[in-house]
A and B are shown apart, each in its own frame.
Chain A
Amino acid sequence: MTSRVPFYFLIAILVIIGVTLSIMRHQDYGVPWAPSESRQVWDIEARIEFVASGGPAKVSLAVPHTQTGFTLVSDSASSSGYGLSYINTDTGRRAEWSIRHAKGAQTIYYKTQFLVDPQASVSIIPPAKKDLLIPTFSAPQQAAVDAIIAQAMERSADSITFSRELIKQLNDLDNQNASLMLNDFSKVDAISKLLASSNVYSKTVGVVELEDGRRRQSIIPMIEVWDGNVWKLFNPESNEQRVQSNVLIWDESNVSLLDVMGGKRSKVFYSMISQGITPMMASKRKVMADRLLNFSIHSLPLEEQAMFKTIMLIPIGALIVVFLRVLIGLKTSGTFMPVLIAVAFVQTQLLPGIIGFLLIVGTGLIIRGYLSKLNLLLVSRISAVIIAVILIISVFTIVSFNIGLTQGLTITFFPMIILSWTIERMSILWEEEGAKEVFMQGGGSLFTAVLIYLAMTNPYVQHVTFNFIGSQFIILAAILLLGNYTGYRLLELKRFKSLAES
């Protein structure tokens, strides 16, 4: 019998590595152990992509600054070979990258960190008289403009209420004047032209909607209106003017978000992550990050970091599966299928997820029942089930959208190939072992998936797995230890009960 000592030594080393890494991260980087209530630092990254045409290239990006609700903590850019300078123009701050020779696909990252701060000290730039350019319209447009303005004027008291009434009219699908305007202009354009015709100062801004872990987001145009003292933000798509706390104004220039010279097909995307650290620690962290060779996940571009937020949760799912199989003895159909289902549940939310899962598998089983009568070969039968699953998903999505259930749209997150195999296996199980076994294994899978979902959506688990890479070593050690367990499973105690008594 081989000695178990090296094995326990390995476990001990893994645990020590895990604990040490976690403590280091806590002390040096100031990451708290628990997700604090004020998880209020946003890392936002703009990723600029363009194709350089071979000569010199110049890229100019409007960058955000401290504004109502957000204080700028730091910003940095990474772009190999480019010269970078920040320029304060009269329309706001811009970052400018320049290079003598660039050819082919180029990527530039600009990363900024904002602290959510209700007491942010904002310097307000009042509008200048010259900014107000009265637009000109064609005759039919002018008639529509007059009608819209007259109605809004009648129902409003000041610039703010006036703007709100304008937006209401433009969002009214039955309003013919509004339809005429929207034929020729985008909604944002139409609103700013209408406001200018009524001598109200406004500007078009680009905003980013902050949502933790989002990737490849685009900028959304909105309107700011001057009420005499401050700028007020309006969402042209929404009738209610409210200050959304998750909206960061990125581009206040009113000129352009991104200018690229010497390149084409330029795009800019945003990724974001929220973190639970105080600004003091954030600045300390930044110093550390610059000084040390930083090999953590947190040195990756934000887009990849956001992806890792999900990936780092999968080991927890695996641990739960190992626990349920080795210690409890639960039967599931497909060992790690519940983990994938749980990942889908995270996207769909729990209840819509469970309903969607049952609908797909249930309908799939019925269709599979018919297919089994056709004497098909296995591979084509499973392929047919895959297509059936895709059709089921489309039908449910369309139906739920049309009856106004937006949750139905998230059903597309289910892993279709895995579901098709599940349906095939359950169908065979049904034929060979009867419905009872199908419900046992299906129920076991669903139960496991729900447990994993609950773990994955737990804020504490999310915080620890992503912020402390050391936790992964501890999970690995736990899984290895469970693999060494040769005692009874809980369900075996039930199974062998008659043996203990006799």
Chain B
Amino acid sequence: MFSVFSMFASPQKLHAKGVMGMNKRNGAYIARYNDRSKYPLVDDKLKTKIIAQAHGATVPKLIGVVAQQAQVKHIHEMVKHWPGFVIKPARGSGGKGILVIISHKNGIYIKPSGQVITEEGVERHIGNALAGLFSLGGKNDVAVVENLIKFDDVAFDGYSYDGVPDIRVIVFKGYPVMAMMRCSTAESDGKANLHQGAVGVGLDIATGRAVRAVQFDHPVTHHPDTGKALNGLVVPNWQNLLTLASSAWEMTGLGYVGADMVLDKEDGPMVLELNARPGLTIQIANGAGLLPRLQNVEALAIPTRYPCADERVAYATQQFAVKAQF
């Protein structure tokens, strides 16, 4: 009997640590701070891109949009002059349906894992995306084709296997409250999705330094494929990245949002996409609960002039600094 109980943490302990559960997130934060009418802005990646650009944020370059089945064949013409590209269903959820091509030649497309995909394979993928296979509720969709990000391989060398590491920042009422980097592994097939086996590295809001790392919800210290110690990870350009992420508040008006960022070698921090229902694994990656930080922000008096992104980042940097737990 005892072994069955020892599988579970006691709710009191989790509560004391301020860990937020799914019901709490849905009922107390998403339902309360995220206005339904603003969901389309973040649920459609094309719209997100447009509003982000309107707010002066850098975004990956748009190569084109495939909106109808008849245009699917034009994809090869469209990407002819782009060495690497990414195809995303505009309304895909949970990272579903994202196809990354790092290079192509004579109708042979190569995925980050080195796997080869044919022209028909690419067309079928877009066809599926258009028919709504990856979108919530199976609604018809468009496929967005964008430039492949050249991620900063000097700062991140060895931290990611076969894929672009991205940085998820939870932005609550414009304040960055928690952040983590998602590094792909062989197991996650070059994708930065934690439930597929990517490593989540919790980041200190003050410095951008690694705090703790998990894979499949269990703590790890080294990258499983490259063997690189994860405690040395520092995200460069951290303040700029946080400021950009925090501006998601101004862009969307959503109170509780997950901003997915990447660091491009040439263009610096970019907004990849925004998520109105960010997951909870970020707490495990950081070894800390979200609730104390969310309540800290909720308790702030609302001044007549709402603080700008720089001021909010400065506040968060001062309030939410933590020590590494490696």
- Contact surface of A with B, Cβ cutoff 8 Å: 1, 326, 329, 375, 377-379, 428, 432-433, 483-490, 492-502
Contacts and interface: CB of A to CB of B under 8 A. Distances in A.
B24 A486 contact: yes
B7 A494 contact: yes
Given A428-B133, A499-B283, A499-B284, 5 more contacts: A375-B124, A378-B127, A483-B27, A488-B15, A502-B219
B296 interface: no
A488 B128 CA distance: 36
Contact of B217 (A488, A495, A500): A495
A488 B11 CA distance: 7
A492 B21 contact: yes
A378 B21 contact: no
Contacts of A483: 27
Interface string B93-126: 0001000000000000000000000001001100
A488 B69 contact: no
- 8 tightest A-B CB contacts, nearest first: A378-B131, A500-B9, A493-B8, A500-B13, A488-B21, A486-B24, A497-B9, A486-B27
B8 A497 contact: yes
Contact of A377 (B32, B96, B131, B289): B131
B22 A375 contact: no
Interface residues of A, dominant DSSP: helix
A498 B214 contact: yes
Interface of B: 7-11, 13-15, 17, 19, 21-24, 27-28, 32, 69, 96, 120, 123-124, 127-128, 131-133, 138, 195-196, 212, 214, 217-219, 280, 283-284, 287-289, 325
B144 to A, nearest CB: 18
A484 B289 CA distance: 21
Given A496-B283, A497-B8, A498-B284, A488 B14 contact: yes
A485 B27 CA distance: 8
A406 to B, nearest CB: 38
- The SS class assigned to the B binding surface is helix
9 contacts: A375-B127, A378-B128, A378-B132, A486-B23, A488-B23, A495-B284, A497-B7, A498-B214, A498-B217
Nearest to A380: B131
B19 A499 contact: yes
B26 to A, nearest CB: 8
A362 B122 CA distance: 28
Contacts of B212: 502
Contacts of B23: 326, 485-489
Contact of B22 (A1, A428, A489): A489
B133 A378 contact: yes
Contacts of A488: 11, 14-15, 19, 21, 23-24
Given A375-B127, A486-B23, A486-B27, A496 B287 contact: no
A490 B131 CA distance: 36
Contact of B9 (A1, A485, A496): A496
A502 B287 contact: yes
Nearest to B132: A378
Nearest to A327: B23
A88 to B, nearest CB: 64
Contacts of B32: 1
Chain B CB within 10 A, most for which of A428, A432, A484: A432
Contact of A379 (B120, B131, B287, B288): B131
B10 A500 contact: yes
Kindly name the residue among A326, A428, A485, A500 whose own CB sees the greatest number of chain B CB atoms within 10 A.
A500
A499 B124 contact: no
B128 to A, nearest CB: 6
A432 B97 CA distance: 9
Nearest to A1: B32
A486 B127 CA distance: 40
A489 B14 CA distance: 12
A323 to B, nearest CB: 12
A4 to B, nearest CB: 11
B10 A432 contact: no
A492 B32 CA distance: 22
A484 B127 CA distance: 40
Given A496-B9, A499-B9, A375 B123 contact: yes
Contacts of B96: 432
B55 to A, nearest CB: 30
A382 to B, nearest CB: 9
B157 to A, nearest CB: 28
Nearest to A482: B23
A433 B21 contact: no
A485 B9 CA distance: 19
A65 B289 CA distance: 74
Contacts of B131: 377-379
B123 to A, nearest CB: 7
Contacts of A496: 9, 14, 19, 283-284
Contacts of B24: 486-488
A488 B14 CA distance: 9
Contacts of A486: 21, 23-24, 27-28
B32 to A, nearest CB: 8
A499 B17 contact: yes
B192 to A, nearest CB: 14
Contacts of B325: 502
Contacts of B217: 495, 498
A1 B31 CA distance: 12
A487 B21 contact: yes
Nearest to B125: A375
Contact of B196 (A378, A433, A497, A502): A433
A485 B133 CA distance: 32
A486 to B, nearest CB: 4
